[in-house]
Chains A and B, each alone.
Chain A
Amino acid sequence: MSASPEARTLMQRLFEPQTLESMAPVPRFFTYGALLVWTLVVVFPLYWVLVTSLKVEVQVDSGPFYLPFIDFTPTLEAWDFMLLQNNTLGPYLNSALVSLVSTLLALLIGAAAAYALVRIQFQVKLAAVLTFILLVVGVIVAVAALDVPWAIAVAVAAALFVLALSTVVRRFRAAVGNNDIEFWMISNRIMPPIVAVLPIYVMFQHLKLLDTQVALIATYTGVNLPIVVWLTRDFFAGIPRDLEESAEIDGASKLRVFFTIALPLVRSGLAATFMLVLILTWNEFLLALFLTNANAQTMPVLVAAQNTTRGPQWWYMSVLIVIMIAPVIVIAGFLQKHIARGLLAGAVKG
């Protein structure tokens, strides 16, 4: 900063933080220009959705019309239909319930798992894991193909597992550590979800839970756990060990340390994670499409349903999209302070 402008290299001058006010007129003009263009790119789709929601079919088909009151007469017809005549409230409440509950569950379970992975060294024998998988496959084959009653199959498998633990498994050294567990968790998200849709569908069909909020909540919680674990583990790892040890000596149980020391200290990170997972579930389409029908339908499915045999009903879709975006913007506004801090955590000291 103190060096004269000539002494600074080109690279230094390019990357030195500057305020718009301190810039020379020409770069300032281009900077403002670039920012303006980008703002248009970001804002225009939102504006277009809002404007479209005020149109009727004719105005969309014979368009484009850009400015309400100037090149077309806005109407609340689409709003009237979607909010008062159509059952929009049902899917809206479904979406709210499912995404809020599953996000909170995923956050609670995932944060606890991440904390355990950071603070406890696991040494699970690889042979035990393989034996377990083998027995699960065995149970499925026995029940499905050989018509063995499932209670008997599970009991036999459990007995075999205990037997294996105390005999065969002990001979093997290879163990699964924390890194392996973490990688396994995140690997669940590598596979495209479409692969898992059919098994999940069949599972809930057997449980008679298809088209219920419970099915969606359970699925979303499971699907988002890896993300929560992956994101929050670094926040927990950043807590000085001393704090937790001090609390333990002061008389707190592990659970109490988790809830009164660890969780409050990572609340910024949790807020950022909450927001991300909430948006993921709020917008989730594929699983909702398969698992729901009329009762538990969520908003993304309802939006897609506006693509009818008469062609896409853009004005109805726009209404739905506007009311879908609104709460997310409000929540993001409330959590903004935390989110910025959470995303930066670890990047800067302090």
Chain B
Amino acid sequence: MRVRLDNIHKSFGHVQVVKGLDLEVEDGEFLVLLGASGSGKTTALRMIAGLESVTSGRVLIGERDVTNVLPKYRDIAMVFQSYALYPHMTVFANIAYPLMVRKTPKAEIAAAVQEVARQVQLDTLLDRFPKQLSGGQRQRVALARAMIRRPAAFLMDEPLSNLDAKLRGYMRAELKHMQHELGITTIYVTHDQIEAMTLAHRVALLEKGVLQQLDTPANIYNRPANLFVAGFIGSPPMNFIEGTLKDGLFTAPDSHFGTGTRATRTAAVAGMRPEDCRVTEPQDGKLTGTVYATELMGDHTLVTCRVGTATVTVKADKAFKRQDNEAIGVDFAEASVHLFDKASGERIA
């Protein structure tokens, strides 16, 4: 079902955590709420769940206004970061709990549990207790408990962050597959941009309680709406150089280059992704500087250069070899330059 947040505000005492959040999640969509800690993403999710009251604004699930509805009447399921499995119940009882609470007939419960357990490959572990399971198995119990009810929406609060890196990658793929199969609207909170990029149909990037950009992963990456998004998404992050922009010509203290626009600003920031840059001889690059550090990452080398007062990181070939402090040039295509207004941080054109 559709989930809509309508100008949501949330304050704890004098601290404003969420400031006027508008969000519309389509039926069957996988939406990721991405942000650093303290960005208000978890608070937003908890407001959708009904675990946190809404200071002002409305929460709608389907066509129903649930702003003041208790969690149990919202027809949602949530997966917690800690999994929140009931330690005194078996896997079976854990998965069955939402149905038992609703007084579903015993035979129906048993059949339903068997079915979801098979879907998440837990059918042989139903008699175990949570403490006898591995991290990944616990995670799947939490998923099964959420799935058994076919809720209007899934809410997930960093469900993969307690798993080790390898398992996380595997569960990510599994989660994506499952959401696609079930077609249930999913709102997923994470601080991990890789999870956001790989899982989401659309990503909502939050910072300090304000929505920065809501778009597909590709658009967020290729056309960041402002300086914050540009700096947040991408690893290593985008390079920024400050200067002035006159009729599309960007001028920094010791360099100038065209940008493929006709815009003019007295204070602007040019951004280049490390993979859009290449290292050249000093005289050939749009920027010139010195090598500050080189890091071999396996399939590529990260070259960090000092350009004036700025630092520019370039994703170079794995065979790249230069001494530190050696002079170097950095080149890039004009079209790959992202331009932002320095004062407002907004994207130019």
Contacts and interface: CB of A to CB of B under 8 A. Distances in A.
A279 interface: no
Nearest to B73: A251
Nearest to A350: B131
B51 A250 contact: no
Contacts of B102: 251
Interface in B96-154: 97-98, 101-102, 145, 149
Interface residues of B, number: 23
A2 B57 CA distance: 62
A248 B50 CA distance: 10
Contacts of B50: 249
Contact of B72 (A242, A243, A252, A265): A252
B72 A246 contact: no
A264 B88 CA distance: 7
B93 to A, nearest CB: 10
Contacts of B77: 249-250
B87 A265 contact: yes
B51 A245 contact: yes
Instruction: Identify whether the interface residues of A are mostly helix, strand, loop, or mixed.
Output: helix
A247 interface: yes
Contact of B84 (A240, A264, A265): A240
A261 B87 CA distance: 9
Interface string B71-102: 11010111011101011100000000110011
Interface in A228-283: 240, 242-243, 245-253, 256, 261, 264-265
A248 B72 contact: yes
Contacts, number: 55
A251 B72 contact: yes
A244 to B, nearest CB: 9
Contacts of A250: 72, 77, 97-98, 101, 145, 149
Given A261-B86, A264-B88, A249 B78 contact: yes
- Chain A contact-residue range equals 10 to 19
Contact of B71 (A249, A261, A265): A249
Contacts of A240: 82, 84
B49 interface: yes
A240 to B, nearest CB: 6
Nearest to B70: A248
Contacts of B145: 250
B88 A251 contact: no
Nearest to B51: A245
A28 to B, nearest CB: 38
Given A245-B51, A264-B88, A251 B101 contact: yes
A252 B89 CA distance: 15
B101 A243 contact: no
A246 B84 contact: yes
Interface in B36-87: 49-51, 70-72, 74, 76-78, 80-82, 84, 86-87
A34 B78 CA distance: 58
Nearest to A263: B88
B84 A242 contact: yes
B101 A249 contact: no
Given A250-B97, A250-B98, A245 B72 contact: no
A243 B71 contact: no
Contacts of A246: 78, 80, 84, 86
Interface string A155-175: 000000000000000000000
Nearest to B157: A242
Given A240-B84, A261-B86, A247 B76 contact: no
Contacts of B80: 242, 245-246
Contacts of B76: 249
Contact of B86 (A247, A248, A256): A247
B168 to A, nearest CB: 20
A246 B141 CA distance: 13
A193 to B, nearest CB: 37
A249 B82 contact: no
Central interface residue in A247, A249, A264, by most chain B CB within 10 Å: A249
A265 B98 contact: no
A243 B78 CA distance: 11
Contacts of B86: 243, 246-247, 261
B151 to A, nearest CB: 9
A248 B84 contact: no
A256 B98 CA distance: 12
A55 B101 CA distance: 61
A49 to B, nearest CB: 41
B97 A249 contact: no
Nearest to B142: A246
Nearest to B148: A250
Central interface residue in B49, B51, B76, B149, by most chain A CB within 10 Å: B51
Q: Which 6 A-B pairs have the closest CB atoms?
A: A246-B84, A242-B84, A250-B98, A251-B101, A251-B72, A264-B88
Given A247-B86, A249-B76, 14 more contacts: A240-B84, A243-B84, A243-B86, A243-B87, A245-B71, A245-B84, A248-B70, A248-B71, A249-B72, A250-B72, A250-B98, A250-B145, A252-B72, A253-B72
24 contacts: A240-B82, A240-B84, A242-B80, A243-B86, A245-B49, A245-B84, A246-B78, A246-B80, A246-B86, A247-B101, A248-B71, A249-B49, A249-B74, A250-B72, A250-B97, A250-B101, A250-B149, A251-B72, A251-B101, A252-B72, A253-B72, A256-B101, A261-B86, A265-B88
